[in-house]
Structure 1
Amino acid sequence: MDIDEVVPVGGGLGKVVSAPVLGVAGVLNDGRKYLLALELCGGESFVAWKGCLDDLVARGLRAPVLVIIDGNPGLRRAVSAVWPRAAVQRCCVHKLRNLERKSPKHALAEILDDFHRIVYAANADAARAAFASFERTWGKRCPGVVASLREEGEELLTFFTFPKAQWKTLRTTNTIGRLHEEFRRRVKTQGSLPSEDAAVVLLFSLLASGQIKLRKIDGWQKIATVLSQHNPVAA
């Protein structure tokens, strides 16, 4: 399951605003991605995210084996509250962007290379060794960078416990991110939409009509194996 925020642009009465929309996408047994929720909200608080996830449970959604999220603390708390036994993968792209913002320009390229050694390691043990090396190298020189990396810790490496063919997909919240990019690209010429609700309706319609397509995850053939190795997770 891929959870993130989409920010469509809407307006009204001559105003243009960005309205956060909570987005949740799931993966079916055959690897197809399916949009489960788009919920207009005032922000990404714990209450907002928990309400969104509670609604999915009320609609009959069983707890997922894996939840892929960004670094939003409200979302992380909501996932723990609603699906305490689900594995959590933190989005490596979001973390990369955080590190970029905290890194001094003269060290940025080296820091990013060291981060890539973690998330593109051959296996979990190699990733942990690269993580420890990152801490040793940058702990004194760039303590803020190391502190940022440690915020996610092992949850940056959860994908290593799944089949290697799926790692590329499971590292990031790319599904929701792609929806955001496609939406903004398609409405760019309009400048804005008449309302926040209109923005959400347009995003749904682009998906329903097939103008935005969600491809199957990498390594989808291994999904049955993954599910057979995990007992059903209670919500």
Structure 2
Amino acid sequence: MAISDEMLDDLLGSARTQDDLFGKDGILKQLSKQLMERLLEMEMTNHLGYMKHAVEGNNSGNSRNGKTKKTVKTGNGDIEIAVPRDRTSEFEPVLVEKRQSHLKGLDTQVLSLYARGMTVRDIQAHLTELYGTEISRDLISTMTDAVLEDVTEWRSRPLESVYPIVFIDGFVVKCRLDGRVCNRTVYVIYGINMSGQKEVLGLYVGENEGAKFWLQVLTELKNRGVEDVFILCADGLKGLPESVEATFPQAIFQTCVVHMVRHSLNYVPYQEKKAVAGDLKKIYQSATKELAVQALDDFELTWGDKYPAIVKSWRQNWERITPFLDFPMEIRKVIYTTNIVESLNATLRKAVRNRGHFSTEDSLMKVLYLAINGISSKWTMPVHDWKLALNRFAILFPDRFPERLMTA
């Protein structure tokens, strides 16, 4: 419903300053109070089935029974409202539920701040400064704990049967366990589904990673519905290649080129990163394996004396770096140019970095889940040129390609 200029003029009255509009006793706060009370009265009318003072209420068995004052925390600060009651105490308001002391919009603000890595103490101080309302740490914790059920459901949700490409990456976080702060690695599994959409398949906290750990992780993915993976890209994580072979025997294990380049550039000062990255690109963008070997030899001639660790790393991992060179360029581009790994990792690292350390795995998962929710809401388009890559997958893996897509 559009609000006319005349209605706005009536509301504004003699308001002239920001305080008149948004201050402690400003128009916006008064309007919020009146709107909430009006909506509550409408809810009561709907509950009883007759208007206030209507004759239909006579001898109806239930009627209005005064009001109860209640302070509600909102995005505009604390607002005291009068909540209507009925004689039989059966009225259950929807706008502000019984025993609820805040509007749901405040939950959204708290979760948004929490997703950005702010601590409970930081959120409490921020809301107090912004709205002039004191929100207890227990209330903030309750709001964020409500997400845990969503986290559990998300981590166990059914997955698609086929993912052409899956990436596994990890980063270190600090957790307080047994009274001491220690490092734990969070592994994030991303997939690109048959529609070309990016998706986070799961989050896993590792302690003693090895073949047993990875076998459990990959078996869980299978139990959630994943039947086949064409290409799995990851670092040379201990025990992972063997576990991939055991759970997805037809999958091609590929050392992630994005990881290799990132790792290589860690050795390079800023002023030479562009040049080194450009010469590395000549390796993984080579048309054939033979040309890639030549490009690596050229790289060693140019940079080998200055950065021997880079050359050593690429040569040691060569057999797991080069499988993707057997694929047509349409698929190779998806593997080495997709920024899903880097952009998502940057978001997650930022969220956990602001927290210092986490007291429990649940508190860590809440932050990561909310951060993933935020960034994945922007993944509305398929990977660039996905149709071209999908056609190539159909040609390369005809027996494993979903029949519904072959006939589409």
**TM-score range normalised by the length of the shorter chain:** 0.7 to 0.9
TM-fit CA distance, 1:182: 0.6
**CA deviations over 1:39-78 (Å, ceiling 9, x no partner):** 2221432221121012212222112111111122322232
2:349 is aligned to: 184
- 2:400 partner SS: coil
Q: Which structure has the larger Rg?
A: 2
Deviates more, 1:110-119 or 1:78-87: 110-119
Find the aligned partners of 1:203 and 1:113 in 2 and give their Cα distance. 33
2:228 to 34, 50, 63: 63
Shift of 1:140: 8.7
| TM-score, normalisation: structure 2 | 0.47
Can you give the 5+ residue segments of structure 2 that lack an aligned partner in the other structure? 1-165, 402-408
Q: Secondary structure at the match of 2:189?
A: strand
Partners of 2:282 and 2:386 in 1: how far apart? 25
User: 1:50 — aligned with what?
Assistant: 215
Distance in 2, matches of 1:221 and 1:94, equals 25
Give, as a single letter, the amino acid of the residue that structure 2 aligns with 1:41.
G
Q: CA deviation at 1:149?
A: 1.4
Q: Report the CA distance shift for 1:108/1:192 in structure 2 as closer, same or farther (over 3 A).
A: closer
Stretch deviating more after TM superposition (150-159 or 168-177): 168-177
CA spacing shift, 1:232–1:73, aligned 2, 3 Å: same
Give the one of 236, 258, 274 matched to 1:93. 258
Q: Which runs of 5+ in 1 are unaligned?
A: none
Shift of 1:191: 3.0
Aligned in 2, Cα 1:146/1:53: closer, same or farther, shift over 3 Å?
same
SS in 2 for 1:185: helix
* 1:68–1:174 CA distance, 2 compared to 1 (3 A): farther
Shift of 1:120: 3.1
Say how many residue pairs are matched. Answer: 230
CA distance in 2, matches of 1:140, 1:192: 40
Summarize deviations over 1:134-160 as a string: whole Å, max 9, x none: 467778997654432122214323334
Query: Quick one: structure 1 residues 103 and 228, their matched pair in 2 at CA, closer, same or farther if it must change by over 3 Å?
Result: same
Residues 158 and 172 from structure 1, CA distance in 2 versus in 1: closer, same or farther, beyond 3 angstroms? farther
Q: How many angstroms does 1:176 deviate by?
A: 4.2
Q: What displacement does 1:206 show?
A: 2.8
Q: In structure 2, what is the equivalent of residue 228 of structure 1?
A: 394
Amino acid at match of 2:227: R
Change (3 A) 1:177 1:197: farther
Backbone CA RMSD of aligned residues: 3.5
Aligned residue among 318, 323, 326 for 1:153: 318
Give the structure-1-normalised TM-score.
0.76
Aligned partner of 1:204 in structure 2 is 369
CA distance in 1, matches of 2:168, 2:338: 7
Amino acid at match of 2:344: L
Deviations 1:83-130 (A, max 9, x none): 2321222122332344456789xx998765543320233x22532431
Q: Is the 8 A contact 2:215 2:243 kept in 1?
A: yes
Which whole-Å CA distance do the structure 1 matches of 2:257 and 2:358 have between them? 32
Residues 65-144 of structure 1 correspond to what in structure 2 (within 5 A)?
Answer: 65-100=230-265, 113-121=278-286, 123-125=287-289, 126-134=291-299
In the other structure, the counterpart of 2:11 is none
Q: Call closer, same or farther: CA 1:191–1:139 in 2, change over 3 Å.
A: closer
SS in 1 for 2:239: helix
Distance 1:205 1:55 in 2: 22
**SS of aligned partner of 1:193:** coil
| SS at structure 1 position matched to 2:228 | coil
C-alpha contact (below 8 Å) 1:49/1:74 kept by paired residues: yes
Relative distance call for 1:14 and 1:189 in structure 2 (3 A) is farther
What is the alpha-carbon distance in structure 1 between the residues aligned to residue 230 and residue 254 of structure 2? 11
Partner amino acid, structure 1, of 2:248? W
Measure the CA separation in 2 of the matches of 1:31 and 1:85: 21
